[in-house]
C-alpha cells in the first residue's frame, strides 16, 4: 500500500515537472506573440523597434563649430596654430622642440628627433594636416615618412603613398604594422592632406595588463580608412605588438624619420 502511494506521488511529481517544462518552453512564444512581424503595405514587413532602455538625462552641451571647414571648434585644444612650437617639446633632448616653423606650418628638422605635445589626453577627436615633400625622393618607407603617435605609442603612419608601393600595413593611414588602410586616399606629394581621428585609450589593471584595448577610427582626406579597429599594442617596427602599461593620458608625438614632412592646423577634443 505504502509502495503504491509512493509510486503515485512519484508519478505526480514527474507529471508536474513535465507540465512546468512545457510551460517554460511555450511561455516565450506566448509573450512575444504580440511582437510578431506584422504585414503593413503589401510587400512591406514591419518589425517593431525596441525602445531605448533609458532616455538621456542631460542635454548635449552647446559648442560652436568653426566657420571654416577643418578649423577648430570652440571646445578644442589647439596643439599647433601655425605660429610657434611653444606647445611642444623635444622627445630626444627634452626642452624646446627643434623643428622649423614657417608660413603657418611646422617641418621636420632631420636629426633633431621626434617632438611631443605638452598637452596630454586620452579618448579624443584629433584633427591634423600634413604634407610630404613635393620633390619626390626615395621609395617605399623612405619617401615622405613621418608618423602620428597617439599617447606617444600608437602610430598612424604618415607616408607619401601616391604611386609608392610598400607593405600594406606600412602605407599612409595604416596603423603601423597592424592594419592597412581600407583604401588608399592619398593626395599627390606636396599637397595638404587631413587626418581626422577618433581614438579610445586603453586601460590597464594594477599589474599592467590591458583590461581595455585602444580603438581607432581614421578619416583621410574625408574618406574612412580605419573603422573603429582594435589596436593590438605598441606599433613597433621590429617586434610584434604588445601593450606596455601607461597612464590614462598621453601626449601626441610626431616622428622625425629624416624626411621633410610638414604639419599644420592641429587640434584635439578630449572626449
Interface residue list for Mg ion (CB under 5 A): 145, 147
Give the three-class secondary structure for 30.
Answer: helix
| Minimum gap (Å) between residue 137 Cβ and Mg ion | 16
| Minimum gap (Å) between residue 271 Cβ and Mg ion | 25
| Minimum gap (Å) between residue 146 Cβ and Mg ion | 6
Angstrom CA distances, 82 to 94, 102, 122, 157, stand at 21, 8, 24, 22
Q: Are 158 and 265 in contact (CB under 8 A)?
A: no
- In this structure, the chain runs to a length of 271
Nearer to Mg ion, 145 or 265 (CB): 145
Angstrom CA distances, 249 to 168, 246, 252, stand at 30, 8, 10
CB-based contacts of 70, cutoff 8 Å, min separation 6: 127, 129, 194, 265
Nearer to Mg ion, 145 or 200 (CB): 145
Nearer to Mg ion, 60 or 111 (CB): 111
| Minimum gap (Å) between residue 148 Cβ and Mg ion | 9
DSSP 121: B
Nearer to Mg ion, 82 or 142 (CB): 142
Nearer to Mg ion, 3 or 237 (CB): 237
- 125 is written with which cell numbers? 577627436
Residue least distant from Mg ion (Cβ): 147
| Minimum gap (Å) between residue 157 Cβ and Mg ion | 5
- 196 is written with which cell numbers? 581626422
Amino acid at each position: 500500500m505504502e509502495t503504491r502511494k509512493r509510486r503515485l506521488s512519484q508519478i505526480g511529481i514527474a507529471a508536474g515537472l513535465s507540465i512546468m517544462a512545457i510551460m517554460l518552453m511555450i511561455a516565450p512564444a506566448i509573450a512575444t506573440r504580440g511582437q510578431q512581424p506584422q504585414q503593413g503595405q503589401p510587400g512591406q514587413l514591419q518589425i517593431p523597434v525596441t525602445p531605448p532602455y533609458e532616455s538621456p538625462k542631460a542635454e548635449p552641451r552647446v559648442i560652436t563649430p568653426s566657420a571654416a571647414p577643418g578649423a577648430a571648434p570652440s571646445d578644442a585644444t589647439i596643439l599647433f596654430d601655425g605660429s610657434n612650437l611653444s606647445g611642444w617639446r623635444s622627445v630626444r633632448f627634452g626642452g624646446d622642440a627643434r623643428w622649423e616653423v614657417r608660413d603657418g606650418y611646422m617641418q621636420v628638422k632631420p636629426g633633431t628627433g621626434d617632438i611631443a605635445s605638452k598637452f596630454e589626453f586620452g579618448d579624443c577627436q584629433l584633427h591634423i594636416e600634413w604634407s610630404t615633400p613635393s620633390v619626390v625622393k626615395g621609395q617605399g618607407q623612405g619617401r615622405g615618412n613621418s608618423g602620428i603617435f597617439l599617447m606617444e605609442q600608437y602610430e598612424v603612419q604618415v607616408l607619401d603613398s601616391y604611386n609608392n608601393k610598400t607593405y600594406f600595413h606600412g602605407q599612409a593611414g595604416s596603423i603601423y604594422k597592424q592594419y592597412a588602410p581600407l583604401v588608399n586616399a592619398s593626395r599627390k606629394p606636396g599637397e595638404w592632406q587631413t587626418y581626422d581621428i577618433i581614438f579610445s585609450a586603453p586601460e590597464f589593471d594594477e599589474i599592467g595588463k590591458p583590461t581595455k584595448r585602444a580603438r581607432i577610427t581614421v578619416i583621410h582626406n574625408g574618406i574612412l580608412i580605419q573603422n573603429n579597429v582594435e589596436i593590438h599594442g605598441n606599433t613597433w617596427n621590429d617586434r610584434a605588438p604588445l601593450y606596455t602599461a601607461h597612464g590614462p593620458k598621453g601626449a601626441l608625438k610626431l616622428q622625425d624619420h629624416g624626411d621633410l614632412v610638414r604639419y599644420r592646423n592641429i587640434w584635439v577634443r578630449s572626449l
